[in-house]
């Protein structure tokens, strides 16, 4: 369902942390809705997890991690576009 194959992200607490304000919102596995008392957001539990993973992945240096052994300068130019 989620495309997390290429980026390694620590999934710990992604289901508990509020994707909107970062507040930890403990919930049971059977609880399908994420509702945060701090910021008032009410969204699907899976959506909250997806946003958390996306936010964590956004800090990952994807372009720098790309292997580019032969033509260094070409690669750097392209990654700046």
C-alpha to C-alpha distances, 3 to 9, 29, 50, nearest whole angstrom: 11, 22, 10
Subset of residues 40 to 79 that bind Zn ion, contact rule: CB under 5 A: none
Residue 39 beta carbon to Zn ion: minimum distance, rounded to whole angstroms? 3
Residue 21 touches Zn ion, criterion: CB under 5 A: yes
DSSP-derived 3-state class of residue 42: strand
Stretch that binds Zn ion, among 7-15, 26-34, 39-47, 60-68 (CB under 5 A): 39-47
List helix spans (H) across the chain.
45-58, 62-65, 72-79
Stretch that binds Zn ion, among 2-10, 11-19, 47-55, 58-66 (CB under 5 A): 11-19
DSSP state of 73: H
Q: Which residues would be at the binding site for Zn ion (CB under 5 A)?
A: 18, 20-21, 23, 36, 38-39
């Amino acid at each position: 369902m989620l495309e997390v194959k290429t980026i390694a992200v620590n999934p710990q607490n992604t289901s508990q942390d509020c994707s909107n304000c970062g507040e930890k919102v403990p919930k049971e596995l059977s609880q399908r809705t994420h509702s945060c008392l701090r910021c008032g957001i009410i969204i699907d539990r899976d959506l909250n997890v997806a946003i958390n993973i996306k936010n964590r992945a956004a800090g990952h240096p994807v372009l720098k991690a790309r292997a580019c052994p032969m033509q260094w300068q070409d690669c750097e130019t392209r990654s700046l576009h």
